Amino acid sequence: MAALKSREGNRLTPVLRIELSPLEELRKLHSQIYKTDIKPKCNGKRKEYNQRLQEIERQINISAGGEPYISLENRVDFEKFPEQFKYTCRNIPGAGVKLWPDPEYIVACDCKDRCTEKNCSCPVYSGGEFAYDEYGRVTLARRRPIYECNMKCPCRKNCRNRVVQRGRGVRVCIFRTKKKGWGLKTLDYIRANEFVTEYVGEILTTEDAEIRGQKYDKMGQTYLFDLDYNEGECLYTIDAYHYGNVAHFVNHSCDPNLVVYGVWIDIVDPHLPHIALFATRDIQPGEELTFDYLMTGNNESPPKPSSRRMKCQCKSANCRQWLC
């Protein structure tokens, strides 16, 4: 896991100059965003390492299907990309976990085209309010559950109440930093309250997660995320160590720019929500993406990654110093 200093206010207004060739202009813009040359000088070792990263990048984007492009970047060291990590866009069921929907228990709306607050019944389960505005930005308070239209609903795929299920819509970069390993930054401008990505991995029973957690603690790292939205009762945990998507690389911050929501789509089991990450504010290109692993609110304890006590490295003004 990694972190990168925020580059607040780094808005780019490209101005083409006659004396610059298109390639020189591209390099200049890239340098403004990433504070480095688009083609840094490479010795033989660095060149060979970058070639390996490019191949991993290619494989990841094949696995990501039609999602926006994912870049890989390491200008810090020669650390290997996590060899055990396999990219997946969806949750994978572990032993004893059922992840396929049961149509008998799915309640659908009867909207003919696009859903509206007046005619759609799906928001009833979200407290009677639409979870999103017309631009797909979440409007509900963080602890409120979100019920999107599902496989039985006749509305179109671009329905206002289908956001998380459409997947990530921004380009991102998995990058390496000097002190904290791999992290994730956005390459696109992200609006406040916009959906960024889902946290996916292998769904484990609590018993299996406890066993893996003991192993991960000895390694000094973990990617376990407890699904305890159901009044604190936790039956399942997401393990993103072996299988996951770009959210595997999102780091903790005590002052994060992402927040977690529980979202239900085709599987209505209250113990099995999708874990969706939304922007808490406008995020500029080049900024690292983070969420609070220990977030609390409304006197409740929301789902959080299981972790042993370790020193926090977020460096924010309100840093709590420790992850417990």
Catalytic annotation, residues = 199, 293
CA–CA separation, 225 and 119 (whole Å): 36
DSSP H helices in the chain: 22-34, 44-63, 206-219
CA–CA separation, 35 and 249 (whole Å): 21
CA–CA separation, 297 and 289 (whole Å): 21
- φ, ψ at 186 (rounded to 5°): -90, 145
- Grouping H, G, I as helix, E, B as strand and the rest as coil, residue 206 is helix
Pull the structure tokens for residue 4. Answer: 């990168």
CA-closest candidate to residue 123, choices 156, 157, 152, 162: 162
Taking a C-beta distance cutoff of 8 angstroms, is the pair 264, 230 a contact? Answer: no
CB neighbours (10 Å) of residue 276? 23
Taking a C-beta distance cutoff of 8 angstroms, is the pair 126, 238 a contact? Answer: no
Return the beta strands (E) in the chain as ranges.
70-73, 86-87, 92-93, 146-147, 172-177, 181-186, 195-199, 202-205, 224-226, 236-239, 243-244, 251-252, 258-264, 274-279, 290-291, 305-306, 310-311, 322-323
Q: Which residues, 6+ apart, have CB-to-CB distance to 128 below 8 Å?
A: none
Burial class of residue 21, CB neighbours in 10 A (0-12, 13-18, 19+): exposed
Q: Which residues, 6+ apart, have CB-to-CB distance to 125 below 8 Å?
A: 107, 145, 147, 264
